[in-house]
Every structure is written in structure tokens, then in C-alpha cells.
Chain A
């Protein structure tokens, strides 16, 4: 990852950097810049009032809270899925491997409608949860379920290649040096996996924060309870209130950017620390 700049394999640094900047500007920076610019049409007081209304605060809590919970669940179970797919041979492995990508491809509205049907109190899954007092569809829990669904491939696909790269000899070496299984995992394997896991977690989280299509069907959309920020933005647009919608969008943008930047810094820091100690165990990014 951190090759020194004097050892470039491919020529044309100027051209490729120019291309990267133009490409990013056209597709990301200019639209987002326009969004921020339009939000300045409001006075700071107006902006603040809209951004901190009780409805908006409740919606941020739902959006970021559910996304965080879903990303944590995905980090744990995504790691297990990736581990199983790399380390074990079993019948139908290729098929299971292909299933992991489905949430990438499936239109999110289809996912939302299907999950709602499954988890409603009359659905195949929901009818067994109902007697236990667990309501999934039309509650914040339903939002988390939808976000877990759309986020799982991000974790599996980022962690999988790293697990593939960890040689079995590393574990054997740990065992011969007297490490217990738990020690092997926590001291040898996990540090090597952690940067990739963090990347997968970040991607799943970022994707979940912005998700709309799958969530609105299962959420119930009750104000102050199960209303996500993107729905509040749509609600503003339905009132022809474009400035209000832009305010919420800018707030989402800023919070997301700060969170992602923090996670990226954390990742850079751990990768740095880690690769300093175990040089060949997979200093990837």
C-alpha cells in the first residue's frame, strides 16, 4: 500500500491524477458542492431550526442508530460467513458464495417488500416471532433487519480475500509456540483481519445510512419512532419544501463524512500499527 513514490510501476502520474480529479469532481464533488451551496440560501438561524427540530433529531437517531447496529451485526456475522466460505469445503459452497452477492443486485424495493411480507405478524418468520412478543415489521427492529440484508455482502467481500491470504502456517506456528485457540484468534488472526473488517463495516454502515428503498416498506414510518432521515427528506419534497430537504441532506452529508473520516483514520492507524509488527501477514487496504 505505501510504496514510495519514486518506484512507480506505471508512468503517467499527471494524466491519471488529472483524470481522477475530473472524474471525482463531475460525479461527486460538484453535485455535493451544489447541494451545500443551495443550503446557504437560508439564514443560519433558519438552517439551525430545521436541522435541529425534534422530528429531525429523532430521525437522525433512527437512521444512524439502526445503521450502526446493522453494521455491527454484519461485522460479526459477515466475518463468520467469510471464514466458513474460505476455510471449509462443503457441498454447495459455490452456490452459497454466489448468494452473498444477491443483496448487491436485488432492487432494494423488492428486498423491502419481501422482508416485510416475511416479517409481518402473518408472514413465514413473523408468525413465529409474534407469540414471543417480538415485532419486527413496522418497528425500528424491521429497519435494522432490512439494513443487515443490504449490508452483509460488503463485509463478506472485503474480509474474504484477506482470510484467503492468511497462510495456514501462521496458525500452525502459533500452535507450536503454545498459543491456545483463543490466543491464536485474538493475537494472530484478528489483528490481520481487523483493517479489512473495519473497511467492510464502514461500507456496510455508509450504505445503510443512505438506504431508502428497502427500509420504507418495513419501517412503519411513524414520526419520532421509525422515521428515517431520507423519508423526512422525501416528506419535505412532498411539501415542495426544497430548502428544508436540502438542509437535512447537508446534515446527513456532514455527519456521514465526519464518521467515515474518523473510521478511515482509525483504520489507517491500525493498519500502520499492525503492519509494523507483522510485516508479511497481509498489509493490505
Chain B
């Protein structure tokens, strides 16, 4: 038994030292959310080439993708991420609370540390048979909406806040009218998909619902995957601006990769990085690049979570914590 244990320890040590050797070449680990695969698959070669040209150093970028809250928990539990690229500010704030990224992380880069944005739009059946134009249409009786879980998923939370914010900004809108509106909207959801992609599958492949609410960039991915023949995109009068915050993890000081990690994220704001975002249907923050790709980004009035809810933290605790506004909709039944 003792011998076996010794062997186990020995082989674990060996594996660790091998991992150390493999890291001799500079590499960065980008820990990211689930559906960012395509964005960074396209971005990494661009950065690697630019970095090689600038510094002469060959660099390798590894990706880790998963549900964003699970990803940051892995980072907090010791996954050595040089940088994180997330789709919810609360996830980066969580790392800030754990002391892994700077407290003022959203000031470390321009645009609230979000190199590109998106917004929540409606995907409807081809020809828009039910004539959806705005959020109010989705809460009408007889409509079925397909959305991911509003409490457990980033996609669902953005949908929830978009609907709430829209109702709040209507003439005479207040918290009570917004709660009533969101309540009747959720009554039209017969199910909550466990994730954004599963909601898409429910809508496109299983034919569930009259309308799917999702990110603008997701619409393009649906078109690439399933063809453009089956659906139309409808832009509501207003929607929430969704941000994709990035941050450097303090682990870079231990790994000696601060310079590279900083450069990796800075490059997201370069023309090249912004073009990459636009080509993946994320709205670039660079006005020139946005203009160049204007045809794929119809103008839409957006509001930020800060404007309407004060801050993400506030929005989160008012609406998604246990006993928050989402739970109240279901407790009332």
C-alpha cells in the first residue's frame, strides 16, 4: 500500500515536471465562455503573427471554453489562466473579489474593458408569420417563446434584463409595470433550455416556439450552421447592450507572461482585432470598422445595464439572486 502510494506520488510529480518542460515555449491560456470558440479560433493566428512581427517571439495560445460561471470558478480554484475573455461582467467581478484580477479591471482597457459588444434580438420563423415587431408582441397571449434559463445562463439573463429595461423605458414605465410585463413574457415560455445553444436547437431543429431571443452574433452562427432559409432576424425598438469583458489574471506575474497577455488583449482593439470581431458578427467598438461592416449591423437603440439598473452587481442581486424578481414570478403562481 505504502509502496503504491509512493509510486503514485512519484508519477504525479513526473507528470507535473513534464508539464513544466512543455511550458518552456511561451504560451498563453485564454479561459473563455462557451460560444467564443469561433471568435478566438480566428483571432489567435492574427495575434500570433502580429506578435511575431513585433517582438520576434513565437507564442502559443491555448483556449479553454465552457459555461462562463464554471470557467471563472475553475480559475478561482487554481486553473492558471493568463487572461480571461468572458461574456458577463459579473464573472470578471467574481475574479476581482477573489483577488485574481485588478479591482478596477473595467478601467484597465477602453470601453469598459469590452472590445466588442452585441445585443439581444429576435429570431422568428421565415417571413415573420406572427408579425413580431417589438418586445410587447412577445408577451401577447398565444405566443410561445424559446429562451435559455433566465436565472442560470448569461444568454437568459441578458434576455431578461433586455425585456425588463425595455418595459422600464416605456412611457409611464416603472418597476411594477416592468415586473408585470416580464411576468407575462415568461408565461409564454413553456420551457427553459439549459444553455444558449440548446435553446437554438429547440427553436431551429425541434421547431419549438414562435420566436427565439438570443445574441445578434448567434443569429449569424445559426445561419452558417442551418442555412438562411428558415428564419428572419427582427430588431426590437430597444435592447440591452451586451458586453464581453476581458482581463489579465495576476497569475501572469508568476508565469512571466504579463507582457504577452497584455499585448494579446490590447490587440483586440487594433484594426485587425476589430475586423475579426466584425467578421464574427460582434459589433466592433472602433467607429471606422463598424462603418465598414455597417450592412451587417442595422442600427438599434441600446441601453447598458449600468444605465438602467445601476450596475451589473445590482441587477444581479435584484433579479437573479434567490428570492429576486425572477423567483417572484414563479412564487406568485
Q: List residues of chain A with CB under 8 Å of any chain B CB.
A: 15, 18-19, 22, 53-55, 113, 116-117, 120-123, 137-138, 216-217, 219-224, 226, 231, 234-241, 244
Chain A residues within 8 Å of B202, by CB: 116, 120
Beta-carbon nearest neighbor of A135 in chain B: B190
Q: Check B207–A122 contact: CB distance below 8 A.
A: yes
Chain A residue nearest to B69 in the complex (CB): A238
Q: Which of B191, B207, B322, B333 has the most CB atoms of chain A within a 10 A radius of its CB?
A: B191
Chain A residues near B192 (CB, 8 Å)? 220-222
Q: Are B201 and A239 in contact (CB under 8 A)?
A: no
Contacts of A239 in B (CB 8 A): 316, 320-322
Contact of A224 among B70, B151, B330 (CB under 8 A): B330
Q: A120-B208, A240-B94 are in contact. Are A138 and B190 (CB under 8 A)?
A: yes
Residue B152 lies at the interface, judged by CB distance under 8 Å to chain A: yes
Tell me, in angstroms, the Cα distance from A8 to B322 when the chains sit together. Answer: 56
Tell whether, in the assembled complex, residue A18 and residue B194 are in contact, meaning their CB atoms are under 8 Å apart: no
Given A223-B327, A223-B330, A234-B152, is A138 in contact with B321 using a C-beta cutoff of 8 Å? Answer: no
Contact B191–A138 (Cβ < 8 Å):
yes
Tell me how many residues of B have a C-beta within 8 Å of chain A: 29
The answer to whether A113 touches B201 (Cβ under 8 A) is: yes
Cβ contact within 8 Å between A122 and B322: no
Closest chain B residue to A23, Cβ basis: B1
Q: List 17 A-B contacts (CB under 8 A).
A: A53-B322, A113-B198, A113-B201, A116-B206, A117-B206, A120-B207, A120-B208, A137-B191, A221-B149, A223-B330, A224-B330, A226-B191, A231-B194, A235-B149, A238-B151, A241-B322, A244-B322
State whether A120 touches B322 (Cβ < 8 A): no
Please indicate the chain B residues that have their CB under 8 angstroms from the CB of A138 in the complex.
190-191, 208
Distance in Å: Cβ of B204 to nearest Cβ of chain A: 11
Known: A19-B1, A216-B194, A241-B322. A235 touches B206 (CB 8 A): no
Asked if residues A123 and B206 are in contact (CB atoms below 8 Å), the reply is yes
Q: B73 at the A/B interface (Cβ < 8 Å)? A: yes
List the A residue with the shortest CB-CB distance to B151: A235
CB pair A22 B69 closer than 8 Å? no
B331 within 8 A of A: yes
Q: Which residues of A contact B55 (CB under 8 A)?
A: none
- Return A65 CB to nearest CB of chain B, in Å: 19
In the complex, B205 has a CB within 8 A of chain A: yes
Chain B nearest CB from A220 CB (Å) reads: 3
A235 and B152 within 8 A (CB):
yes
CB closest residue in chain B, given A212: B194
Task: Check A237/B69 contact, CB under 8 A, given A221-B192, A222-B192, A244-B322.
Answer: yes
Pair count A-B, CB < 8 A: 75
B324 to chain A, nearest CB (A): 9
Q: Which residues of A contact B207 (CB under 8 A)?
A: 120-122
CB distance from B179 to the nearest CB of A (A): 16
- Write out, one digit per residue, whether chain B residues 181-200 have a CB within 8 A of any chain A CB (1) or not (0): 00000000011111000100
Q: Residue-by-residue, is B41-78 near A (CB-CB < 8 Å gives 1, otherwise 0)?
A: 00000000000000000000000000001100100000
Interface majority SS (helix, strand, loop, mixed), chain A: helix
Q: In whole angstroms, how far apart are the Cα atoms of A240 and B72 in the complex?
A: 10
Chain B: CB-nearest residue to A50: B322
Do B205 and A54 touch across chains, with their CB atoms under 8 A apart?
Answer: no
**B190 neighbours in A (Cβ, 8 Å):** 138, 220, 222
Question: A219 CA to B201 CA in the complex, in Å?
Answer: 15
Chain B 311-333 interface residues, beta-carbon cutoff 8 Å to A = 316, 320-322, 327, 330-331, 333
Asked if A54 and B331 sit within 8 Å, CB to CB, the answer is yes
The answer for the CA separation of A219 and B191 in the assembled complex, in Å, is 8
Are A221 and B327 touching (Cβ within 8 A)?
no
Q: Which residues of A contact B321 (CB under 8 A)?
A: 239, 241
- Is the beta-carbon distance between A217 and B151 smaller than 8 angstroms? no
User: Can you name the residue of chain B whose Cβ is closest to the Cβ of A242?
Assistant: B73
Q: Which of A116, A219, A224 contacts B333 (CB 8 A)?
A: A224
CB closest chain-B residue, reference A122: B207
Given contacts A138-B190, A216-B194, A222-B330, 9 further A-B contacts (CB under 8 A): A53-B322, A113-B201, A217-B194, A220-B192, A221-B193, A236-B322, A237-B73, A238-B153, A239-B321
Least CB distance from B230 to A in Å reads 13
> What are the residues of chain B within 8 A of A238 when measuring CB–CB?
69, 151-153
Is A221 within 8 A of B73, CB to CB?
A: no
B73 to chain A, nearest CB (A): 7
Residues of chain B within 8 A of A219, CB atoms compared? 191
Q: Which residues of A contact B94 (CB under 8 A)?
A: 240
Once the chains are docked, how many angstroms separate the CA of A219 from the CA of B69? Answer: 22
CB–CB A117/B333 < 8 A: no
B47 shortest CB reach to chain A, Å? 31
A55 to B1, CA, bound (A): 46
- CB pair B333–A221 under 8 Å, yes or no, is no
A226 to B193, CA, bound (A): 12
Known: A220-B191, A239-B321. A122 touches B69 (CB 8 A): no
Report the Cα distance A106→B201, complex, angstroms.
Answer: 20
A93 to chain B, nearest CB (A): 35
Residues of B within 8 A of A216 (CB): 194
Query: CA of A223 to CA of B207 in the docked complex: distance in angstroms?
Result: 23
Q: In the complex, A116 Cα to B73 Cα: how many Å?
A: 29
Mark interface residues in B80-123 (1 if CB within 8 Å of A CB, else 0). 00000000000000100000000000000000000000000000
